[in-house]
């Protein structure tokens, strides 16, 4: 933020924690001005004698509601655990307190303080969001979420086996419940949106070098500023590299991301942003810790055990090109457009468990594949602002189109002379006494084993829809009405067009907000969602024609801003019902087989506290209580059971305190935790124990230099983040540390 004495023309800027100092001043009577992109201009009269010291205390800046936009093209200046607005929930910049739906936000400050590098590292800071497996799969409000994540509100693509890097991410948003009225097919529990870092109008450069346990090395850079003197053309460039080994046998990861961004704002009417990102990862597909056949004790085998073999690999490159445009036709009408092209190229070779030979030894399969996907997302909409009598209106009319094509070439192999033709077996492996040696891959022969699971069922899908959203205000009341007509089609590899999956569905949304006070609102909402089958690198085969999963959400809650808008709290109470749920059939010999079981329902309460209690005290705390049950199932014995990987209780925290005076000035401490209670798996009787992982850290900042140390899982708790069954279960990381040195100027 910029701080200026108006008459004297003395200018400075705040540091990372919002502090500023103006020194060696003459006697004066002046006006202090504090400005930023997101806040209202603050002014205060000051009168000083020469060399007089004056502590102005805490200064509170208000959100600049008058400058809300329809698309986000410039960066966020504020450095806080609290976000005041969201574009995702309404497709316009709306204060979170005015949105009739629960939204969790994880800011770049939380990501930096935790030293998170991927979405999977960071997302458990959101209430009701937990890991479902070791892949890019989450449990949100008790239900599996594995659809492609949004990038700036536009549909990307998920290959399941890797997760998004956060090098160029400004914040992570999670809108709870279905969001189909604005975004078509979606995960019923919630939608994850990654908001990229946009250019700033002030020059800034930040470099961080980190290292830690398991030969971990990381380097990140962020540079931004104007490209011309009138600041109509802005740029930002983010880059990151990460290399690490693992506590898991054989596992490693080397990845990088390059992400330039440009914004063009020639006048008040036109705003354009272009984002580009290229990321690459070189790793091994980790299918988890296998256990013994007749022993479901999680500790029967060590957490480092894997069935992968030397020479296995997963190489993936993702390229995203994103354009956002907003044109203000007049004071009442604006046109907004967004386009995202997302390309993925994945090459994998892996060994895995094909079946058991004895209690503690298994057959191995070997498969390799080349996977390419191309996704194009286009979103166009008009917004209209007008009044009718005492009513204010914000009307949105739009059309979206998404097309995704997938090409997969996959082969299974075998050694027919040793294990028989069509066996799909290439070797054996001892779980009790594992020996990792280079496998004779060149001697493997092609197999027709599991050929049906080699093809992605929907190689092309496209969906399009028209929608209308009306936000009506009357005094303290705000109503949101949304309607969408969606047409979804997935074309399989069959020549027979009758095999196409076609869905036409009407999707309503209704929300109501009542403003008890300017800083306190109550809300209620009803949403309907749907999720048809979608192509994925994680092959899915069904034993019957697939029916779209539909969902219904009823939710009430309250939102409040405390301490002059520095601290935000939310409370949500919900019921979420799913029909035609698809889950893994839990066949070890056919891990890609899914079945649709009927009806699930989750009921729960979520609460969050986020913000800065003091300029030097930041806090983020979340808690969720969730009961997710099978209500109806084709397997009667499952009715009434708790859904897999859905903890009844889960929570997280992150608290940072920086000393602002005295001998410890510049030092800071960080503490936090993540917690989940007992969870079921797809195997009856196999449960994951509850756990709590405690983290802590130290900070020191002096002028442009920052040094940080994080110690994670201090008590070295052994725990599992998620599991399918006793073969595919993923342990959490043991005690580890990261140390970072940063320079900002």
CB 210 within 8 A of CB 739: yes
Same domain, 58 and 202: no
Residue 84 lies in a domain: no
For the sheet with 10-13, list strands across it: 10-13, 2-5, 28-35, 42-48
Question: Which of residues 10, 35, 62 is at a domain's end?
Answer: 62
* Res 75: pLDDT: 58
What CA–CA distance (Å, rounded) separates 506 from 534? 19
What CA–CA distance (Å, rounded) separates 264 from 325? 10
With H, G, I as helix, E, B as strand and everything else as coil, classify residue 125: helix
Same domain, 204 and 55: no
Range(s) of the domain holding residue 689: 154-162+181-498+506-744
List 291's β-bridge partners, or say none. Answer: none
What CA–CA distance (Å, rounded) separates 182 from 570? 23
What's this model's pTM, rounded to 2 decimal places? 0.88
Residue 325 lies in a domain: yes
Residue 28 lies in a domain: yes
Same domain, 441 and 331: yes
Same domain, 430 and 543: yes
Residue 210 lies in a domain: yes
CATH code, domain with 701: 2.40.170.20
Closest CA to 338 of 10, 693, 677, 72: 72
CB 565 within 8 A of CB 610: no
What CA–CA distance (Å, rounded) separates 160 from 723? 15
Same domain, 344 and 445: yes
Same domain, 510 and 639: yes
Phi, psi of 311 (to 5 degrees): 100, -15
For CA atoms 534, 540, 546, 552, the dihedral sign is negative
What DSSP string describes 414-470? E-HHHH-TT----EEEESSS-------GGG-EEE-TTGGGGS-S-SEEEEEEEEEEE
Same domain, 51 and 185: no
Question: Which of residues 40, 62, 84 is at a domain's end?
Answer: 62
With H, G, I as helix, E, B as strand and everything else as coil, classify residue 305: coil
**Local structure of residue 72 (DSSP, 8 states):** -
Q: Residue 330: CB partners within 8 Å, gap ≥ 6? A: none
What CA–CA distance (Å, rounded) separates 387 from 374? 43
- Tokens coding 352: 């895995």
Question: Which of residues 20, 37, 62 is at a domain's end?
Answer: 62
What CA–CA distance (Å, rounded) separates 141 from 622? 13
Same domain, 349 and 459: yes
**Local structure of residue 17 (DSSP, 8 states):** T
With H, G, I as helix, E, B as strand and everything else as coil, classify residue 110: helix
- Structural domain count of the chain: 2
CA angle at 223 for the pair 655 and 153, rounded to the nearest 5°? 70
Same domain, 49 and 158: no
Residue 401 lies in a domain: yes
What CA–CA distance (Å, rounded) separates 337 from 323? 8
Closest CA to 154 of 370, 424, 403, 439: 403
CA atoms within 13 A on the CB side of 411: 11
CB 428 within 8 A of CB 361: yes
With H, G, I as helix, E, B as strand and everything else as coil, classify residue 309: coil
* Res 44: pLDDT: 81
CB 281 within 8 A of CB 291: no
Residue 353 lies in a domain: yes
With H, G, I as helix, E, B as strand and everything else as coil, classify residue 112: helix
* Res 452: pLDDT: 42
| CA of residue 431 relative to chain centroid, distance | 35
Q: Residue 446: CB partners within 8 Å, gap ≥ 6? A: 411, 412, 413, 414
Same domain, 300 and 405: yes
Place of tokens 């983010």: 238
Helix (H) / strand (E) element for 2: namely strand 2-5
* Residues of the chain predicted below pLDDT 50: 37, 63-68, 451-458, 493-499, 534-538
* Res 457: pLDDT: 40
* Res 54: pLDDT: 76
What CA–CA distance (Å, rounded) separates 682 from 582? 12
Residue 662 lies in a domain: yes
Residue 301 lies in a domain: yes
CB 358 within 8 A of CB 402: no
Average pLDDT value for the chain: 89
Place of tokens 């303080």: 113
What CA–CA distance (Å, rounded) separates 196 from 168? 6
* Res 584: pLDDT: 59
Same domain, 433 and 578: yes
Distances (CA, A) of 151 to 154, 194, 270, 493: 5, 5, 22, 29
């Amino acid at each position: 933020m910029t701080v200026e004495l108006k008459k004297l023309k003395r200018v400075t800027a705040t540091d990372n924690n919002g502090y500023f100092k103006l020194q060696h001043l003459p006697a004066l009577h002046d006006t202090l001005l504090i400005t930023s992109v997101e806040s209202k201009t603050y002014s205060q009269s000051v009168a000083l004698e020469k060399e007089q010291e004056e502590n102005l205390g805490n200064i509170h800046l208000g959100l600049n509601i008058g400058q809300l936009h329809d698309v986000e093209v410039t960066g966020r200046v504020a450095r806080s655990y609290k976000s005041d607005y969201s574009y995702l929930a309404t497709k316009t910049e709306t204060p979170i307190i005015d949105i009739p739906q629960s939204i969790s936000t994880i800011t770049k400050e939380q990501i930096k303080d935790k030293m998170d590098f991927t979405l999977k590292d960071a997302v458990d800071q959101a209430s009701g969001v937990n890991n479902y497996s070791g892949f890019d799969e989450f449990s949100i409000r008790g239900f599996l979420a594995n659809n492609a994540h949004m990038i700036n509100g536009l549909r990307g693509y998920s290959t399941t086996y890797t997760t998004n890097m956060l090098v160029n991410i400004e914040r992570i948003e999670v809108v709870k419940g279905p969001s189909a009225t604005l975004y078509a097919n979606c995960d019923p529990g919630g939608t994850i949106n990654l908001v990229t870092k946009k250019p700033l109008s002030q020059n800034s450069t930040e470099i961080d070098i980190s290292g830690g346990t398991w030969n971990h090395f990381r380097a990140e850079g962020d540079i931004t500023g104007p490209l011309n003197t009138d600041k109509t053309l802005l740029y930002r460039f983010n880059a990151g590299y990460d290399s690490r080994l693992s506590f898991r046998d054989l596992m490693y990861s080397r990845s990088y991301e390059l992400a330039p961004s440009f914004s063009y704002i020639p006048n008040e009417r036109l705003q354009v942003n272009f984002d580009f990102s290229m990321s690459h990862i070189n790793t091994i597909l980790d299918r988890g810790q296998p256990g013994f056949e007749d022993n479901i004790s999680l500790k029967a085998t060590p957490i480092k055990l894997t069935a992968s073999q030397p020479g296995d690999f997963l190489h993936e490159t993702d390229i995203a090109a994103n354009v956002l445009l907003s044109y203000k036709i007049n004071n009442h009408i604006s046109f907004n457009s967004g386009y995202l092209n997302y390309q993925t190229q994945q090459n994998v070779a892996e060994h895995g468990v094909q079946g058991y030979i004895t209690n503690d030894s298994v057959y191995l399969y070997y498969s390799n594949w080349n996977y390419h996907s191309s996704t194009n997302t286009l979103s166009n909409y008009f917004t209209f602002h007008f009044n009718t009598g005492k009513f204010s209106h914000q009307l949105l009319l739009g059309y979206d189109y998404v097309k995704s094509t997938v090409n997969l070439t996959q082969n299974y192999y075998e050694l027919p002379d040793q294990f028989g033709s069509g066996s799909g077996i290439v070797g054996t492996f001892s779980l009790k006494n594992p020996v990792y040696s280079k496998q004779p891959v060149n001697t493997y022969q092609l197999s027709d084993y599991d050929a049906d699971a080699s093809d992605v069922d929907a190689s092309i899908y496209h969906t399009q829809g028209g929608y209308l959203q009306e936000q009506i205000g009357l005094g303290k009341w705000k109503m949101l009405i949304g309607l969408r007509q969606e047409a979804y089609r997935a074309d399989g590899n069959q020549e027979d067009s009758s095999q196409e999956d076609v869905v036409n569905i009407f999707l309503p949304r209704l929300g109501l907000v009542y403003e008890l006070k300017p800083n306190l609102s109550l809300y209620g909402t009803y949403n309907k969602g749907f999720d048809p089958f979608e192509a994925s690198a994680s092959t899915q085969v069904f034993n019957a024609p697939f029916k779209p999963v539909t969902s219904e959400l009823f939710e009430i809650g309250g939102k409040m801003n405390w301490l002059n808008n520095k601290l935000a709290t939310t409370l949500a109470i919900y019921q979420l019902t799913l029909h035609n749920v698809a889950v893994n059939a839990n066949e070890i010999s056919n891990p890609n087989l899914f079945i649709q079981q009927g009806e699930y329902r989750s009921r729960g309460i979520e609460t969050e506290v986020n913000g800065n209690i003091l300029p030097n005290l930041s806090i983020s705390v979340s808690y969720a209580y969730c009961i997710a049950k099978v209500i109806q199932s084709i397997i009667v014995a499952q009715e009434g059971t708790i859904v897999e990987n859905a903890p009844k209780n889960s929570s997280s925290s992150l608290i940072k305190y920086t000393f602002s005076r005295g001998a410890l000035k510049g030092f800071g401490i960080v503490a936090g935790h993540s917690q989940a209670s007992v969870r079921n798996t797809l195997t009856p009787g196999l449960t994951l124990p509850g756990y709590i992982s405690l983290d802590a850290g130290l900070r020191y900042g002096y002028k442009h230099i920052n040094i940080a140390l994080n110690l994670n899982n201090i008590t070295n708790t052994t725990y599992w983040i998620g599991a399918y069954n006793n073969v595919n279960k993923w342990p959490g990381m043991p005690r580890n540390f990261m140390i970072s040195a940063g320079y900002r100027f």
